[in-house]
Amino acid sequence: MQDMGIAYGMKGNLDKALELNQRVLELDANNAKAALNIAITYQGMGNKEKADFYFQKAFTLDPKLKR
């Protein structure tokens, strides 16, 4: 499901990408990559506030993502 979210995002279907990645995060609240994908999607949508929130969440869950 996470890979599908990435694929939708790459094709520009940000709403579907967001929906799928949010579902992944609902199923696994500690999935840092899903949080990162949500942040990137919100950034692409121009929602800086939500993007910042999810970037912080992703980096808190997995500090190695900052590299």
* pLDDT exceeds cutoff 90 at 10: no
Overall domain count for the chain: 1
Give the CATH number for residue 14: 1.25.40.10
* pLDDT exceeds cutoff 70 at 3: no
Give the domain range for residue 58: 2-66
- Radius of gyration of the chain measured on its C-alpha atoms: 11
Q: pLDDT tens digits, residue range 42-65?
A: 999 999 999 999 999 999 999 998
Mean of pLDDT values over 26-50: 96
* pLDDT for position 36: 95
